[in-house]
Each structure stands twice: as C-alpha cells, then as structure tokens.
A and B are shown apart, each in its own frame.
Chain A
Amino acid sequence: MPNPDQGGAAALSAAPTRREIHEARLRRRSGAIAAGSTLLVIGAIVLFVPMAPGWEAVRRSFFNAEVFRKTFPGLLEAFLVDVAIFLWCAPAIALLGLVIALCRDVRAPALFPLRLFGALYTDVFRGLPVVLVVYLIGFGVPGLGLPRPWNSPYIWGSLALILVYAAYVAEVIRSGIDSIHVSQRSAAASLGLSEADTMRYVVLPQAIRNVAPANMNLFIALQKDVALLSFIGPVEIFRQAGVYKSLLANFTPYVGAALIFLAITIPATRYADYLLHRQRRRQS
C-alpha cells in the first residue's frame, strides 16, 4: 500500500544521513569509472580504425560529407512515404489484430470455426518471412490484371504488412487477455454481466493496457519493415537511397537513411522500455 506520508518524511530531513553520504560517494565513483572506460573505448576506435588499410576507401564511399549534404533532403522527403504507409497501416493492423485475438477467445461451440480461423491465421502469417508475403501479395495480386488504381503496389504492399503484423498484434493481445486473472471474469459474471460485456468492459481494457509496451515494439518493427515495400515498387527511403547510390556511385545515402530510421526508432524504443519499466514497478 503506497504510504503518502513517506515522501513528506524524506523531504523533512534536510541533512543527509551517513548512509546517504556513503551511497552518494559510491555512485560518484562508479560514474567516474563508467565514463573513463567509455572514453578509452571511443579513443581506441578513433585512433585505430583509420589505421586499417581499407579505411580511406570506406570513408570515401560511406562517409562522404559532400554526397551526404546533397542527398539528405531527398532522403528525408522519401521518408515521408514510409511514414504515410505506416500511418495508414497502423490503425488497420490494430483493428484486425484485435478482431483476430477476439476470434481466438470465443467459447461458444457454434463459433468454433472462428476460433479455428484465428489460430490458422496467426500460425500462417507468423510462420512466413515478411518479405515473402510482400512479394506474394505485392506481385501476385496486381498480376491478376486489375484496372488502374487497384493494381497499385502501395495498396497490395500495405495489405501484406497489415496481414502479417495483425497476426503478431493478435498474439500479443491474446497473451494480454490470458494474463487477466479468472477472478476478474468471475466477479463480472457474478454481477450478471454477459460474456461480451465482461470482455469489453473488464478484460480488454486491462489486457490492452498490460501489453501496450509489447505492441509498441511491434509498431517500431513495422516502421522499419515498411522499407520492404521498396522491393515491389514504391519509392520510399530505402529505394531512394538506392537510386542515389547508382547515380553517385557512393554508399553514403544508405548511411543517411540509417540515421533517419534511428532518429525515429531509438526514441520510440526507449519510450516503450520506459513504459514497460513503469508498468513492472507498478505491478510489484
């Protein structure tokens, strides 16, 4: 039970105790050691890597400042395509994932086919490499000779991502549903709530909150996997970097693309970790 008085008591005692002084000293010392060893490693890299025989060539083809400056704005613009694809896929994935998860949880015998479908769906789409699904659907469906807007690789490539990621999201949500203790369902039933209301008002809100960090990690992976659509046509950042590479005979645009991805994914990953950490602490 959180005790509201504890914070006040700590704030009142202004003078640090002997133990606090000791702990602060320990903290300072380990901080100094960590900083020292990090500097040592970085120093070694800066000193020794350029001494490698191929370094000059690598620097010219991967870390060319001139090429970087010329291509970076174009890469940023192409990244907007990635973001757009992500933005329309994400809600569809969340919705489909939820539906599949609910399919797998139905108990009524008449609805058994739904259960079976849910299980098959998740097994199939989690069992295939994403790039394979992108190829099969992205090339396969337009190959049917559909009329103009319907043969767009944007549509079918996005569908491939939606189908695959919905399977992962469904599994995560289902694990969240399973994590809710039966006593919660029991309590809801004892009040006369129907199974559907129990799911909607009691189980799902808790389940989804519990798995929010896991789902966030999936959506970070999705943002990266949007680059796979480059294989079937859309000129997004990875493809654009390829175009620049051929044009300038230089690999620096790939490094630029990598930096742009990292600028998004690292903060997002850190945030997901933070959420997870906060949740763990609250549950303990």
Chain B
Amino acid sequence: MAKLVLQGVRKRFGQNLVLDGIDLTVSQGEMVCLIGASGSGKSTLLRCINLLEPIDDGTIHLDGVDISEPGYDPQAVRTRIGIVFQSFNLFPHMTAAQNVMLAPRRVLGRRPEEMAGPVEALFDRFGLKHRMGHYPDQLSGGQQQRVAIIRALAMSPEIMLFDEITSALDPELVGEVLDVLRQLRAEGMTMVLATHEMGFARELADTVCFLDGGRILERAPPGTLFTQPREERTRAFLSRLL
C-alpha cells in the first residue's frame, strides 16, 4: 500500500528551480535511496517531505491525505515523519537523554517517569545505554549521529528520512551508523535516504532513485540501476564514483 505519494512536486528558491516535478511513491516498509550529484536536490526533497520547506507546486499525500495543502498543520506531520541530518544537530546544552526526551515530553505530553523505561530501551538497542548522561561534545561523531537517530525514533515516526547521515563521519565510524539503519530495515521501518554510500544502497535498498537537476531521472531496484542504468547521465554519474 502506498504510504507516501509525491506528485509533480516543484520547489524553487528565488529563481532557482531546485525540484522540477518530482513523482515518487513509497510503500509501507519500503526503503528508497536517493542518489545524485551535489546540488541535485536530495536534501531539499527530504526537507519538503516533512514540510520543513513549503512546496510551490504538486502534492504530497501521507496515507491518502494531502499534507501539502496550504494550512495543513506541519507539526502533526513532523511527529509522524522523522528526519536525521548530516550534521547531527543535537542540542548541545542537553544530555543525550534530554535530547531524546524533549519532543515526546513537549509535543506528545509524555511524563518523564513513563518515558524512562522505553527511552532506556531505545538507547540500549543501539548500544548507547552508558552514554545517556553525556553531552553531545563528549560523544564521538558516530555516537552523536546514533543519538540523533534515537531522538527521531522516540517520536515513534511512521516514516524516517535520512539526509546523508554518514557524510560528516570519519570513515571508521560510518559502520556503526549504517548498522543502525540495517537494524531499522530489519524491523520494517519505511525509510527514504539520501546517500553517497552506493555499496550500502545496493545492499539494502528496495528502490534507488537517481536525481539530476531536480528530477528523478531514473528509478529502479538497485540490482538494475547499478548494473544496467538506462540513462546516459546515470551511467556517467556512477562511473565517476567507481
């Protein structure tokens, strides 16, 4: 069943048309990877999906409801769609646990004592139980990024968006964050991720979309897209990576 449907989504910054008619369908439990050159619009697309950026044209349906309609409450959408950024964006004045508990407390009205158990379980699941009381600057990049993922998961989102979450990490820390994604994948989380990790996309994605100049130029299962790209530009992009 289609969980998320984008139709003809356009987004411009001033004169710059950054998304030029994006059509994308994401099914329940599907993992979609967005690949493409820098500036092709991957981050913008993700930010539009959870309404951090308003779109100029087209529609976005979540469970059949048009969430892109002007006036639709963005807060309600953001509690259902989580996003993790390249640069972690943890709140530096709060411990890892406080980072995770802020939104459930303020947005969902959870009381700290009822959250304590589930939050600890979440930290434990991603191997960070002993870091709950640490501040972000006391954590490695990989640990910070995992806390950011836990923070998004604590809202029990139905869809997770990941924007190049390993790009700012030292190579030896990439693995631990990818492991978290593998775990989420195994649990059946619906995910859309922008990534430069082609090996990872190939291993786990159901679908890979190649973005070019604000359009989805090619969309296929990884086995097809990486080995027999249909478009010349896709081939050029992939050959530059290898």
**What CA separation (Å) do A1 and B136 show in the bound complex?**
11
Residue B192, interface by CB 8 Å:
no
Residue A90, interface by CB 8 Å:
no
CB-defined contacts of B92 to chain A, threshold 8 Å: 206
- From B74-82, B115-123, B209-217, the one touching the partner chain is B74-82
**Cβ–Cβ contact B89 & A184, under 8 A:** yes
B12 to chain A, nearest CB (A): 19
**Cβ–Cβ contact A206 & B89, under 8 A:** no
**Cβ–Cβ contact B75 & A194, under 8 A:** yes
**Cβ–Cβ contact A192 & B93, under 8 A:** no
- From A49-57, A101-109, A197-205, A232-240, the one touching the partner chain is A197-205
- Residues of A233-250 contacting chain B, CB below 8 A: none
A192's partner among B91, B137, B155 (CB-CB below 8 A) is B155
Residue A284, interface by CB 8 Å:
no
CB-defined contacts of B102 to chain A, threshold 8 Å: 191, 193, 201-202
Residue B59, interface by CB 8 Å:
no
**What CA separation (Å) do A187 and B89 show in the bound complex?**
6
Per-residue CB contact flags for chain B residues 117-138 toward chain A (1 = under 8 Å, else 0) read 0000000000000000000011
**Cβ–Cβ contact B85 & A183, under 8 A:** yes
CB-defined contacts of A191 to chain B, threshold 8 Å: 78-79, 82, 102-103, 107, 151-152, 155
Residue of chain A at shortest CB distance from B74: A189
B91's partner among A187, A190, A209 (CB-CB below 8 A) is A187
Residue of chain B at shortest CB distance from A189: B52
Interface centre among A191, A197, A205, A209 (most CB of B within 10 A): A191
Residue B7, interface by CB 8 Å:
no
**What CA separation (Å) do A194 and B73 show in the bound complex?**
11
Chain A's interface: helix, strand, loop or mixed, by majority?
helix
Residue A186, interface by CB 8 Å:
yes
**Cβ–Cβ contact B106 & A190, under 8 A:** no
CB-defined contacts of A183 to chain B, threshold 8 Å: 85, 87, 89
- Residues of A157-201 contacting chain B, CB below 8 A: 183-184, 186-194, 197, 201
B50's partner among A1, A190, A205 (CB-CB below 8 A) is A190
B interface residues (Cβ-Cβ under 8 A, vs A): 50, 52, 74-76, 78-79, 82-83, 85, 87, 89-93, 102-103, 106-107, 137-138, 140-141, 151-152, 155
CB-defined contacts of B87 to chain A, threshold 8 Å: 183
Residue of chain A at shortest CB distance from B137: A2
CB-defined contacts of A205 to chain B, threshold 8 Å: 93
Top 9 nearest A-B pairs (CB, nearest first) are A187-B89, A191-B103, A192-B79, A192-B78, A192-B107, A190-B83, A192-B75, A197-B106, A183-B89
CB-defined contacts of A2 to chain B, threshold 8 Å: 137-138
**What CA separation (Å) do A276 and B41 show in the bound complex?**
40
**Cβ–Cβ contact A209 & B103, under 8 A:** no
Q: Given A202-B91, A205-B93, is A193 in contact with B106 using a C-beta cutoff of 8 Å?
A: yes
For chain A, the count of residues having a C-beta within 8 Å of the partner chain is 19
Residue of chain B at shortest CB distance from A196: B106
**Cβ–Cβ contact A187 & B155, under 8 A:** no
**What CA separation (Å) do A202 and B89 show in the bound complex?**
11
B103's partner among A1, A186, A193, A206 (CB-CB below 8 A) is A193
CB-defined contacts of A192 to chain B, threshold 8 Å: 75-76, 78-79, 103, 107, 155
**What CA separation (Å) do A192 and B52 show in the bound complex?**
10
A207 to chain B, nearest CB (A): 10
Residue of chain B at shortest CB distance from A198: B106
Residue of chain A at shortest CB distance from B53: A186
A268 to chain B, nearest CB (A): 25
A190's partner among B82, B137, B140 (CB-CB below 8 A) is B82
Task: Contacts A183-B87, A192-B76, A194-B75 known; list 18 others, CB within 8 Å.
Answer: A2-B137, A184-B91, A187-B89, A187-B91, A188-B91, A190-B78, A191-B102, A191-B155, A192-B78, A192-B79, A192-B103, A192-B155, A193-B106, A194-B107, A197-B106, A201-B106, A202-B91, A205-B93
Q: What are 13 sample pairs from A and B whose C-beta atoms fall under 8 A apart?
A: A186-B85, A186-B89, A189-B52, A189-B74, A190-B52, A190-B78, A191-B82, A191-B102, A193-B107, A194-B75, A194-B106, A201-B91, A206-B93
Per-residue CB contact flags for chain A residues 89-127 toward chain B (1 = under 8 Å, else 0) read 000000000000000000000000000000000000000
**What CA separation (Å) do A193 and B91 show in the bound complex?**
13
**What CA separation (Å) do A187 and B163 show in the bound complex?**
12
A201 to chain B, nearest CB (A): 6
A240 to chain B, nearest CB (A): 44
Residue of chain A at shortest CB distance from B107: A192
Interface centre among B85, B93, B106, B151 (most CB of A within 10 A): B106
CB-defined contacts of A184 to chain B, threshold 8 Å: 89, 91
